[in-house]
Amino acid sequence: MLRKIVRHVRSSPQRRKTWLQEAKQTTASALRMLPPGQQRWHLMLILDVKTRWSSTHQMLPLPIPHRQLIPTFAKDKELRKFELSESDWSSLKLVSEWLKAFRSATTEMSSTKRLMLSKTLAMFRGLQEKVRGIIAELLHGADPTLRRGLIDAHIKLSDYYYKFDESRYYTWAALLDPRISYEALVKDYRREPDLLDDIRTAKNNLATHFEENYASLESDNPTNENNTPPVIIDGSPQKINFLERYSSYSAAQTLPKDELDEYFRFTSHPSKMTVDPLEWWHARHDQFPNLYRLACDVLCIPG
């Protein structure tokens, strides 16, 4: 019903003009009742895109000026059957609250400047839990349409979640993200044996992939560059590094025998959520020279 009213207002230049005029008049007095941080509302209604849940959240006109004006426009002869009741407004308020998490997830997943692949599992898992909690709290007398919509949303999220099995990189990215890593995933999935087995399998597959494709790569550690014979100019004093005899021994001692196992031990207590994963890996390039390459290759896949 609301979508039809919004479309009706936006479809005509005359109705848009009338809406803006009345909205400005209403806003002047109504906004004074709102806190300062909530006084900047868009006057023109937003028409959502049916396939994008974030735009539906943007459309819902909960600010006071919109709620006061919409019933007036709904009295138009063409829209009288779509006039919103108090019950409808209550439902809209509920739906608006529910969609906040979906809009937040959509906005974050649309980011092009931050790594997203490693967060994808957490986002869909969080949305599933959000919808499941809403369904559990919904009163028995609630609108059946709302209940059905929530159940359908949970089913759709489950379908998407299990599609992640078709690609190994979602779980690998989470494992190689120092903010998450293996131990955090195990704790998160501890009550779901099937998913926990999937995490363990993914870890083993990641280890195999690392051993076959990265573990034997030559390190580009700067210590190797020191072995290049110096260029000597006749008559100039030659500088000799008398400690060089210990450099190869030192490097062999500091590099872990198995970088992946060492990484999982190192991140058994995950890093702060504010850490940038690529910066974290770059800072530990010397500690995990080959695993660093794998982490960059996986984490940089668009999410």
Q: Which pLDDT score, from 0 to 100, does residue 38 have?
A: 52
Q: Block means of pLDDT (10 residues each) for the chain, length 303 residues?
A: 78 82 69 56 70 69 62 67 76 82 82 81 90 85 84 87 84 96 94 92 96 80 48 60 62 62 93 91 95 96 80
C-beta separation of 64 from 34 below 8 A: yes
257-281: b or e for each residue (b if 16 or more CB lie within 10 Å)?
eebbeebbebbeebbeeeeebeebb
Within 8 A by CB and 6+ apart from 288, the residues are 256, 259, 262, 263, 281, 295
Q: What is the pLDDT of residue 224?
A: 45
* Nearest alpha carbon to residue 61 among 42, 34, 80: 42
**CA atoms of 73 and 19, how far apart (whole Å):** 8
Report residue 220 as tokens: 């580009």
The upper half-sphere exposure of residue 252, i.e. CA atoms within 13 Å in the direction of its Cβ, equals 5
Decide: pTM greater than 0.75: no
How far apart are the C-alpha atoms of 203 and 52, rounded to whole Å?
Answer: 34
- In this prediction, residue 183 carries a pLDDT of 95
Residue 67 — φ and ψ, nearest 5°? -65, -35
H/E stretch holding 248 reads helix 247-254
Q: What is the pLDDT of residue 111?
A: 73
